[in-house]
Structure 1
């Protein structure tokens, strides 16, 4: 029941959304096709009766009629199978599109993706939850539910046939023969319940093994991605041996769990095969005495055997799909776990982030580390349009943390932060260049404007990227193609294009030589005279491009001074 509640928790948002009516129509069409296939199975069962009776009676005309009926039944089976597949896949496509976009919205809204990284360090591979687990959840949910529907309808459809056939079976006792009402039904029921119980007992460890397998496979893939993203650094360190050792450890962890999973699956597979196949001969053994006594013809025996198989398969459905059921449960557990983290990730900040059109005002700002050590106490700052401030301190003194607090990315703080947040921009030490063409990367996060390509090329030339001006249409992994220095100059191009009212530069020129750094800052001062600049850096040469310097010191102390000659 707990798994079913979790299933409905994941499924309900889609089935109560604006997509519910088209989805219900597709579900109705899929169910209708499925029921038609059950109808074909019922007709096939009666076909068994007449066809094998014709064979036993050497009725050639009946044989030909039966052959024609068989062809029509197979055509109907193929048509309804394709129809059910078509509507089911359309429903899967619609559901997956909505569910993936919905979870992406939750993950991206209010910067949950960033807050998860800070507060939920045990969240494993959110990318897999969104890209793979949602798809698995939808596919397996539809497959299992439609399979269950088919089993229930088949059970009640063939139950009547099997119940009637039980009247043909007499049980000898004390010299007399007795007819047990529904004997074949009760045999199928007991056999199925017993088999299902054994299957659940044998496979009780499968859900946890499936859960762990997905996690270890994702960890292995992530380590490969990390090497690709940091190929230059690894090559410079000559860290191939260490990386290989880490790959092997994660691979062995995945393979070890995989083999444990295989051993359990072998046990379940062998048991299920023996259990399901043996069901086909049970009714024949029960009815053999009456058949050989001539109580009924071969067609009746074949029909009853087929009906027994359908009833037994319907009751034993869970045995047949138990491996998939365990995997479905593990997928639900992973998605629910991720959903709970998304729901609870909201870290309440005590910093009031307010919008104001002009200037930047920081009042009574206290910042501390997660362990409680204070970085700032009662910090105040007021800057007017065109002002510039450089934050200087050795590493570990909280320069970047101050920027992150002001911009709302650090929550261990209180106070107030007021500026034009809608037109602010932050350039980090490691710029982000999204996948796509170079024009889109330079305009990010705004949509590119082709009509301003001339201005874009001029800015690229001013920052020393004229060699890339003819590659605006090319799509590459620019973060891997460009050097860090080139990436940082791309970030300056981005700032000059978007013209923010407040620009935070968090060591955004650390990979540039002195000449290129001076060129980029000079461009900012000339092109964006009314923009508030707040820079984090170590280079003393940067002071000349700022009106004030904020020097951070030990024990949450700081000194703010003016620069004598600012450019």
Structure 2
């Protein structure tokens, strides 16, 4: 029941969304096709009766008619199978598109992707949850639910045939023949329940093993991606042997769990194959005495045997799909875990960030770490348009955390901050260059303006990137092609194009030499004279490029001083 509640929690948003009516139409069409397939199975069951009776009676005309009926039944089976597949896949496509976009909106909304990274460190591979697990959840949910529907309808459709056939079976008792009403039905029920219970007991470890397999496969894949992203650093350290050892360790963990999973699946596979196939001969052995006594013809025996198989298969449906059922449960567990973390992450900071057209004001700001250690107490700051502030401190004193707090990314804080949030921009130490053309990377997060190409090339020239001005339309992985220094200069071009009212620079010139650093800052001052610059850095050369310096000290203390007009 817990898994079903989690299933409905994941499925309910789609089935109550604006997509519910077209989705319901597709679901109804899929169900109708499925019911038609059950109808064909019922007709096939009666076809068994007449066709095998014709064989027993050596009725050639009846045999030919049965052959024609068989062809028509197969055409119907093929048509309804294709129809069910078509509507089911259209429903899967619509559901996956909505569910993926919905989870992306939650993940990206209120910058949860960043806050999860800061506060929920045990969230593994959100990319897999969104890209793979949603698809598995939808595909398996539809397959299992439609299979269950087919089993239920088949059960009640063939139950009547099997119940009537039970009247043909007599059991010797006290010297008399006794007819037990519904004997074949009760045998099918008991056999299915015992088999289902044993299957669940044998495969009780499958959900956990499937969960761990997906996690370890994702960890191995992510470690390969990390090497690609940091190829230069690994090559400079000559860390190939260490990386290879780590890859092998993660691969062995995945393969070890995989083999444990295979051993459990082998046990389930062998048991279920024997269990399901053995059911086909049970009714024949039960009814053999009456058949050989001439109580009913061969066609009737074949029909009853097929009906028993359908009823038993319907009751034992969970045994047949148990491996998929366990995989479905592990997918639900992974998705519900990710959803709970998305719901739990602190979206709103205790810092009230207000909007004001000019200047920047910080009042009564308190910042602390998750372990309770204080970084700042009752911090106040006021900056006017055109001011520049350098935040200086040893590592670990909260320089970058102060930037995150003021921009609303750090949850462990309280106080007030006001500035023009709509026109604020942050440049980090490692700039983000999205996949695509260089023009798109330089304009990010805004859309490129081709009418401003002349200004773009001029800014590139001023920061020393003129050698890239003819590659603006080249779509490459620029984060792997450009050096860190070139990437940081790209970020300065991005700031010059965006023209923010407040610009936060979090060690964004750390890879530049003193001359290039000074040139980039002077360019900001000249091009954006009204922009407030707030920099974080260690280099002593930065101090002469700012009007004011904020020195963070231990025990949540600070010193705020003004310096001479920057160079």
Common fold: TM-score over 0.5 = yes
Partner of 1:414: 414
Deviation for aligned residue 1:54: 1.1
Tell me the CA shift for residue 371 of structure 1.
2.5
- With 353-362 and 171-180 compared, the bigger mean Cα shift is at 171-180
Where 1:157 maps in the other structure, the secondary structure is helix
How far 1:173 sits from its partner (Å)?
Answer: 2.3
Q: How does 1:273-422 map to 2 (within 5 A)?
A: 273-346=273-346, 349-422=349-422
Once the two structures are superposed, what CA deviation does each residue of 1:5-28 show, in whole Å capped at 9, x if it has no partner? 111111111000000000000000
Q: In the alignment, which residue of structure 1 is the partner of 2:436? A: 436
Look up the match of 1:566.
Answer: 566
SS in 2 for 1:40: helix
Tell me, what secondary structure is at the counterpart of 1:142? helix
Structure 1 counterpart SS, 2:222: helix
Give how far 1:241 is off.
1.3
- Structure 1 residue 374, shift from structure 2 partner: 2.1
Moved more, 103-112 or 140-149: 103-112
Aligned counterpart, 1:191? 191
Residue 13 of structure 1 corresponds to: 13
How far 1:145 moved relative to its partner?
A: 0.2
CA distance in 2, matches of 1:120, 1:565: 43
| Greater alpha carbon shift after TM alignment, 305-314 vs 59-68 | 59-68
Instruction: Determine whether 1:143 maps to 2:152.
Output: no
Looking at structure 1, the residues matched to 377 and 170 of structure 2 have their Cα atoms a distance apart, in angstroms, of: 93
Distance in 1, matches of 2:414 and 2:560, equals 21
Residue 370 of structure 1 aligns to a residue whose secondary structure is coil
Partners of 1:385 and 1:253 in 2: how far apart? 56
Could you list the runs of 5+ residues in structure 1 that have no partner in the other structure? none
Offset at residue 373 of structure 1 (A): 2.5
- C-alpha RMSD of matched pairs (Å): 1.2
Could you say which residue in structure 2 is the equivalent of 1:511? 511
Q: Quick check: 1:38 aligned with 2:44?
A: no
| SS across alignment from 1:180 | coil
CA–CA separation in structure 1 for the residues paired with 2:67 and 2:504: 80
Describe the superposition over 1:474-525 as per-residue Cα deviations: whole angstroms up to 9, x where unpaired.
Answer: 2222111211011101101110111000001111011112222122111111
**Cα distance in 1, alignment partners of residues 422 and 500 from structure 2:** 9
Structure 2 counterparts to residues 511-530 of structure 1, below 5 A: 511-530=511-530
Are residues 1:120 and 2:112 paired?
Answer: no
Deviation at 1:59, TM superposition (A): 1.4
Deviations 1:120-168 (A, max 9, x none): 1111111111111111110000000000000000001111111111111
Residue number in structure 1 paired with 2:538: 538
Please tell me whether the aligned partners of residues 349 and 409 of structure 2 are also in contact (alpha carbons under 8 angstroms). no
Provide, for residues 276-324 of structure 1, a one-character-per-residue CA deviation record: whole Å limited to 9, x for no partner.
Answer: 0000000110111111111111111111111110000000000000111
How far has the Cα of 1:540 moved from its partner?
A: 2.5
Structure 2 gaps of 5+ residues are none
Deviates more, 1:463-472 or 1:550-559: 550-559
Residues in 1 aligned to 2:113 and 2:419: alpha-carbon distance in whole angstroms: 24
Local SS of the residue matching 2:144: helix
Moved more, 514-523 or 7-16: 514-523
Structure-2 residue corresponding to 1:22: 22
SS at match of 1:382: strand
More displaced, 379-388 or 147-156?
379-388
Question: What corresponds to 1:270 in structure 2?
Answer: 270
- Separation (CA, whole Å) in 1 of partners of 2:228 and 2:59: 72
Distance 2:557 2:195 in 1: 73
Per the alignment, in what secondary structure is the counterpart of residue 111 of structure 2?
A: helix
Cα contact 2:166–2:184 (8 A) shared by 1: yes
Q: Report the Cα distance in structure 1 between the residues aligned to 2:100 and 2:479, rounded to whole angstroms.
A: 26
CA deviations over 1:356-389 (Å, ceiling 9, x no partner): 1100011122222222222222221111111111
1:62-95 superposed Cα distances (whole Å, 9 cap, x missing partner): 1111111111111111110000000000000100
Encode CA deviations 1:215-259: one digit per residue, 9 max, x unaligned.
111111111111111111111111111111111111111111111
CA distance in 2, matches of 1:528, 1:269: 70
Instruction: Show the counterpart of 1:4.
Output: 4
Contact persistence 2:350–2:411 (CA under 8 A): yes
- After superposition, the C-alpha distances for 1:146-201 in whole angstroms (9 at most, x for unaligned) are 00000000001111111111111122223321211111111111111111111111
- Secondary structure at 2:280's aligned position in 1? coil
Tell me whether 1:172 sits opposite 2:172 in the alignment: yes
Question: Does residue 1:487 correspond to 2:514, yes or no?
Answer: no
Q: Deviation of residue 347 (structure 1)?
A: 5.8
Query: Secondary structure of 2:358's partner?
Result: coil
**What's 2:75 paired with?**
75
C-alpha separation between the residues in 1 aligned to 2:33 and 2:473? 48
Report deviation, 1:348.
Answer: 5.3
- Is the CA contact 2:376–2:557 (under 8 Å) kept in the aligned structure 1? yes
**2:375 and 2:397 in contact (8 A); partners too:** yes
Pairing 1:258–2:258 present = yes
Measure the CA separation in 2 of the matches of 1:73 and 1:347: 58
Structure 1 runs of 4+ off > 3 angstroms?
Answer: none
2:110, 2:347 within 8 Å by CA — same for their partners in 1?
no
Size of the aligned set, in residue pairs, is 567
Match of 1:557 in 2: 557
Give the TM-score normalised by the residue count of structure 1: 0.98
Structure 1 residue 353 displacement after superposition? 1.0
